[in-house]
């Protein structure tokens, strides 16, 4: 009996698919790299942009034939897309050959849901409004010599464009002892070079439970563990990245000198409309501090072009910022409307042609900067 998992979205989802794999292996299934000979196919979906949802819908729809040939094939859809109640219902109604639909908060229940489906043969749509931190799930690591470790779940920031707080719930930190124990186990295996801590906003680790200490303290505690490993983390929010974290990074050889610091826009007006809670001056100040203490640090960022109300001048501010920081890597996205978010209802939505033009300009600019840096 074989399972196959199709993963969309961010590192959080990549790691969650490793947990899904662990659950399915506990049930006796084995991994197969192709979906054709699978007995269970899981779609772990993403909702960050409209395109991600459309692609998932298309690919799930395409499984109809395979299900017709193999009536016992089990099709499961989970993740951020199906954590939206209306989308989960639409999927359930549109694709009668999908067997189990669940969201992000109930993934730990997959084992019992698969067993229930096999016994009762009735389709399942299980929606959970919110969830707690669940420990003890067997993880089947699949990311080469990198081991992902969740330190927190959810997000409290409500950037006005973003769906994540709605599909991942409020910030919940794992207990430090659980994180440290997981990392000790990873180090003992000696098969992983890098450990990457994961959270939507790692710098606010412990805010919901101050007895766990701060993110900077967590980093230091991990660096103090015996063993040969490198440590990195994502994602950092510029409003929360403080001097303590910068100092711990600079002082510990175990921490990789690289940082993903999404700026989203180079215009203070747009940052305000995005509810990002920092200014470009603040952002550049952090960059200067980082480079002051770690001259070789590699910086990457996320940028959204075509946010409602973004003028040509705002966009040029973003280009200026990119020229100033000289990032090692830029992930540029065209703004995508997400139902239920604040920006969805904003006036001044930008047309697709302008978004395309701006994203292409930015990607060319990145190429030019990279070429200059290499010379």
Site of interaction with ligand SF4 (CB under 6 A): 155, 157-159, 162, 164-165, 200-201, 237
158 interface partner picked from ligand F3S, ligand SAH, ligand SF4, none, CB below 5 to 8 A per type: ligand SF4
Instruction: Report helix angle 280-293 to 312-325, nearest 10.
Output: 10
Q: Contacting ligand SAH (CB under 6 A), which of 102, 164, 246, 362?
A: 164
Nearer to ligand SF4, 77 or 271 (CB): 271
Q: Which is nearer to ligand SAH, 221 or 300 (CB)?
A: 300
Confirm or reject binding of residue 78 to ligand SAH (CB under 6 A). Answer: no
Q: Which helix (H) or strand (E) holds 366?
A: helix 352-374
Shortest approach of ligand F3S to residue 48 CB, angstroms? 4
Nearer to ligand SF4, 201 or 265 (CB): 201
- 162 burial (CB, 10 Å; 0-12 / 13-18 / 19+) is buried
Q: Which of residues 160-179 bind ligand F3S (CB under 6 A)?
A: 163-164, 167-168
Among 3, 161, 229, 327, binds ligand SAH (CB under 6 A): 161
With a CB cutoff of 8 Å and minimum separation 6, the contacts of 73 are 38, 39, 40, 41, 63, 66, 67
How far apart are CB 361 and ligand SAH at their closest, in Å?
17
Q: Which of the listed partners (ligand F3S, ligand SAH, ligand SF4, none) does 165 bind, with a CB threshold of 5 to 8 Å by partner kind?
A: ligand SF4
Going by the DSSP 8-state scheme, the letter that residue 81 receives in this structure is: G
Instruction: Count CB neighbours of 136 within 10 A.
Output: 6
Binding to ligand F3S by residue 13, rule CB under 6 A? yes
From the list 74, 80, 322, 330, which residue makes contact with ligand F3S (rule: CB under 6 A)? 80
Binding status of residue 341 toward ligand F3S by CB under 6 A: no
- What does the block give as tokens for 119? 């016994």
Task: Look at residue 13 and give the partner it binds from ligand SAH, ligand SF4, ligand F3S, none, a contact being a CB closer than 5 to 8 Å depending on partner kind.
Answer: ligand F3S
Q: Which residues lie below 8 Å from residue 260, measured CB to CB, with a gap of 6+?
A: 234, 235, 236, 300, 301, 302
Query: Greatest CA separation found in the chain?
Result: 65
State residue 248 phi and psi, 5-degree precision.
-60, -40
Closest by CA to 303, choosing from 332, 272, 337, is: 332
Of 212 and 264, the one with the shorter C-beta distance to ligand SAH is 264
């Amino acid at each position: 009996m074989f399972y196959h998992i199709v993963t969309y979205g961010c590192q959080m989802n990549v790691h969650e698919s490793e947990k899904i794999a662990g659950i399915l292996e506990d049930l006796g299934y084995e991994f197969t790299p192709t979906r054709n000979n699978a007995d269970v196919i899981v779609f772990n979906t993403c909702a960050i942009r409209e395109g991600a949802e459309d692609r998932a819908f298309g690919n799930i729809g395409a499984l109809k034939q395979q299900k017709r040939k193999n009536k016992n094939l089990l099709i499961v859809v989970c993740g951020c897309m199906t954590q939206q109640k209306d989308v989960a219902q639409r999927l359930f109604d549109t694709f009668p050959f999908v067997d189990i639909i669940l969201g992000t908060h109930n993934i730990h229940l997959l084992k019992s849901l698969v067993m229930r489906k096999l016994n009762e043969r009735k389709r399942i749509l299980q929606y959970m409004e919110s969830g707690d931190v669940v420990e003890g799930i067997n993880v089947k690591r699949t990311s080469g010599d990198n081991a992902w470790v969740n330190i927190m779940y959810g997000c409290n920031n409500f950037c006005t464009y973003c769906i994540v707080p709605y599909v991942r719930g409020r910030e919940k930190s794992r207990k430090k002892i659980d994180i440290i124990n997981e990392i000790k186990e990873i180090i003992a295996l000696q098969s992983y070079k890098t450990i990457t801590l994961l959270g939507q906003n790692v710098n606010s680790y412990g805010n919901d439970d101050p007895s766990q200490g701060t993110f900077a303290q967590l980093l230091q505690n991990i660096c103090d563990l015996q063993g040969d490993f490198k440590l990195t983390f994502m994602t950092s929010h510029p409003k929360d990245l403080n001097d303590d974290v910068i100092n711990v990074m600079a002082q510990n050889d175990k921490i990789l000198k690289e940082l993903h610091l999404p700026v989203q826009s180079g215009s203070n007006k747009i940052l305000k409309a995005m509810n990002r809670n920092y200014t470009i001056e603040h952002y550049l100040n952090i960059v200067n501090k980082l480079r002051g203490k770690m001259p070789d640090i590699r910086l990457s960022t996320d940028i959204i072009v075509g946010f409602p109300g973004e003028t040509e001048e705002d966009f040029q501010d973003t280009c200026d910022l990119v020229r100033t920081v000289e990032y090692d890597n830029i992930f540029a996205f065209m703004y995508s409307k997400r139902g239920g978010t604040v920006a969805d209802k904003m006036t001044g939505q930008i047309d697709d042609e302008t978004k395309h033009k701006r994203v292409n300009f930015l990607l060319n600019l990145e190429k030019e900067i990279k070429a200059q840096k290499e010379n």
